[in-house]
Structure 1
């Protein structure tokens, strides 16, 4: 009789619980978070597998974002949501290139970003990407000066509908989307943008 008090709900009920939590959450929910919310003995991992199959081909799909899960509009129906989107401030060319370098070379230090771009990156450019929650600080490199590294966030992956950084599009796709121009690569010939700085030393971001 005692064991029955801790018996997990039926699988169908567990799926309903997971579904409710994901729908109510504004942010993707990790498996650990689901486990902590559901009654003792539940198996949210199994519920997620079933739900992903159930929503496959529907207008709303259950997707994996990094280590978390969320409901998102089916990619082919995204055009129906255009009127609901709020246009954010546009990123400068320097910010777009910096973001692309971080995404494709993470973890990457500021010095490495500047080496690839050929110009110094202003603190404001990096701050803007961090403010948008698309870039965050990674671990410090075990090299002289112990510079911090930058990596993209789960918010970045979620915004672009990616499960992980491995799903990033190729350069051809980026140029087609207008995120890169037709230059063959980032090079010193780019010159300086308005928000770039001459290379005069490390930013305060890299001080201990």
Structure 2
């Protein structure tokens, strides 16, 4: 059997290279006249393992990204990392671990009011989205994370979110340790306190 890529594999590869944003398997298939691309994506992901760019799947969407150990070679000197305020960091953590969640619910966990601008920053960054309205009096807007959030933080799904002990060990809880602890009930989400699917399993 030849190790050369077939026409479909080359077409999938070209489609993803040309795409302006990550694509789902269904979008790739539709672009290629309904071709079955699942096995091809798996094969390409294996082919690109260990190379300068990797084919990865984040939140059901596929894209090429620079290998993590080479990212520093492409970083522009003037590029500044996105820095979030404490309030925005806490709000993002709460949405990530407890979505879908309303502004009032975010405030209840944080113990302080959350300015509208705080959520606007996260919406503008593309890390959270409006996920509808809660079916309660007043029908408040509820928020959830986005595929861009998963991509930025290198997560395949929300089930890859670290637990409270991992965050503490990595020194990532300061200055938001209290918010994370309240959010997760002081336990690792995988123990059943918070289900990454968004359901509270504390009862």
TM superposition score normalised by structure 2:
0.77
For structure 2, the residue ranges without an aligned partner over 5 or more in a row are 181-203
Task: Look up the SS of the partner of 2:57 in the other structure.
Answer: strand
Whether contact under 8 Å (1:140, 1:149) holds in the other structure is yes
* Match for residue 174 of structure 2 among 178, 181, 186: 181
Q: Give the match for residue 100 of structure 1.
A: 93
Compared CA separation, residues 132 and 106, structure 1 to 2 (3 A) = same
Post-superposition offset of 1:150? 0.6
Give runs of aligned pairs for residues 40-79 of structure 1, distance below 5 A: 42-79=35-72
Q: Is the 8 A contact 2:86 2:176 kept in 1?
A: no
Residue 159 of structure 1 aligns with which residue? Answer: 152
SS in 2 for 1:186: helix
1:31 aligns with 2:25: yes
Number of matched residues?
176
CA drift of 1:165 comes to 1.3
Residue 126 in 1 paired to residue 116 in 2?
no
Residue 67 of structure 1 deviates from its aligned partner by: 1.6
Contact in 1 for aligned 2:86/2:175 (Cα 8 Å): no
Structure with the greater alpha carbon radius of gyration: 1
SS of residue matched to 1:137 = strand
Q: Counterpart of 1:14?
A: 8
**Is the 8 Å Cα contact of residues 175 and 182 (structure 1) preserved in structure 2?**
no
Tell me, in whole angstroms, the C-alpha distance in 2 between the residues paired with 1:44 and 1:59.
Answer: 23
Deviation at 1:84, TM superposition (A): 6.2
Structure 1: runs of 5+ lacking an equivalent: 1-10, 188-208
1:48 shift after superposition: 0.5
Backbone CA RMSD of aligned residues: 2.3
Distance 1:152 1:183 in 2: 19
Partners of 1:177 and 1:85 lie apart in 2 by 27
For 1:185 and 1:90, locate their aligned partners in 2 and report how far apart those are by CA, in whole Å: 20
| Contact 1:95/1:129, CA 8 A, preserved across alignment | yes
